[in-house]
Amino acid sequence: MSKASFHHSDEHLALELQRKMEGASQVFLLTDSNVAELVLPRILPLLKNADKIDIIEVEPGEASKALDVCHHIFQHFIEANAGRDALLVNLGGGVITDLGGFIASVYKRGIPFIHVPTSLMGMCDAAIGGKTGIDLLDVKNVIGSFAYPKAVLIQPNFIETLPIEHIKSGFAEMVKHAIIADPQLFDALEIIDIEEPNHIALFIERSTLIKEDIVMEDFMEEGRRKILNFGHTIGHAIESFCLSVDAPLSHGHAVALGILVEAKMSYHLGGLDLESYTKIQRLLSKSFQFPKNCQWEDILPFLFNDKKNKNNQVRFAIPKKMGTCEWDVAVDLEEARAAFEELINE
């Protein structure tokens, strides 16, 4: 399991990518049409033999994480006679790295792949940790694999290509990492201006390292890795519900709301103290609001479809205090309901 490497200019990133592509019999590059317009032209001219790279473009957005999209790309690989030593470069946000990672992990039982995340969410979270996945029936990542990329190459300045909503989405995961493992990072995130990509870019590496350290300790998610699910149990349910009524929220937005609910649960249960909870609430409420139409009864069915459930109990990752988190905590769902309803009525 190799660590993500950071490259602070397009030239350095391209140089490293070039090095990693050597030896591959064929190179495919998966991206979406936004990234193809905004990032690809910065990198492609810097690569030797760029004309030999087979570029596969999908629509931007979560809807591309689908079985029929996989089907098309598998067909493309087969028609191009892609062998086991072909390489797939996934250039894009979490959708691209989740989708491309899954495809690479099952095509011919696994070909090498490289992630080059272009979104903040990708850099801090989705591209790190070797999980891949696609969605089905509004259930996120319900089909997927554990598969580790050959390399993860990060150029933090790519985030300047992102709309503010995407920055916010990734920011939620940075806040999560800070709460579960790094109180000093939390203090920093409170101060910076999230509308300034330069500010954010300063803290990407620190956030990424938190996730990497946790994953290295527990790749198969049998124990401590589960703390990364903080905010996600409620967050995924909100996200799935919103998707099911055709009013999708970004993943980060849903996670931010999940963090709010689960932090409040922690506070109620004697975990986070009032000061810490209030700081979290103040930081996230600036950028994230609950959707108007979303009631507890709406999200409840989606809570039961979480991959982390065992024997139909819902388990949470719950911070003990700022910087420390417990996992596999069975919490009465009435606690979750109470926290959720207090927040939506605030």
Query: By the criterion CB under 8 A, which residues form the site for its own copies?
Result: 25, 67, 70-71, 74-75, 78-79, 81, 83-85, 102, 105-110, 131, 133, 136-137, 139, 141-146, 304-305, 307-312
CB of 73 to its own copies, least distance (A): 11
Helix (H, G, I), strand (E, B) or coil at 336: helix
* Token pair for 267: 């506070």
CB of 184 to its own copies, least distance (A): 33
* Token pair for 107: 């095509």
C-beta closer to its own copies: residue 214 or 283: 214
C-beta closer to its own copies: residue 146 or 247: 146
Four-residue CA torsion sign, 94, 254, 5, 134: negative
C-beta closer to its own copies: residue 109 or 292: 109
* Token pair for 170: 């990734």
- CA-CA distance, 76 to 72, in Å (whole number)? 6
CB of 159 to its own copies, least distance (A): 28
- CA-CA distance, 243 to 177, in Å (whole number)? 25
CB of 59 to its own copies, least distance (A): 20
**The residue to which tokens 């003990």 are assigned:** 320
CB of 24 to its own copies, least distance (A): 10
Four-residue CA torsion sign, 236, 169, 63, 290: positive
C-beta closer to its own copies: residue 37 or 85: 85
Tell me if 258 sits within 8 A of 232, measured CB to CB.
Answer: yes
C-beta closer to its own copies: residue 150 or 199: 150
CB of 194 to its own copies, least distance (A): 32
Q: Could you tell me which residues come within 8 angstroms of residue 278 by beta carbon, excluding any fewer than 6 positions away?
A: none
C-beta closer to its own copies: residue 53 or 139: 139
C-beta closer to its own copies: residue 38 or 143: 143
- CA-CA distance, 83 to 210, in Å (whole number)? 35
- CA-CA distance, 46 to 260, in Å (whole number)? 43
- CA-CA distance, 247 to 269, in Å (whole number)? 32
Tell me if 133 sits within 8 A of 65, measured CB to CB.
Answer: yes
CB of 189 to its own copies, least distance (A): 30
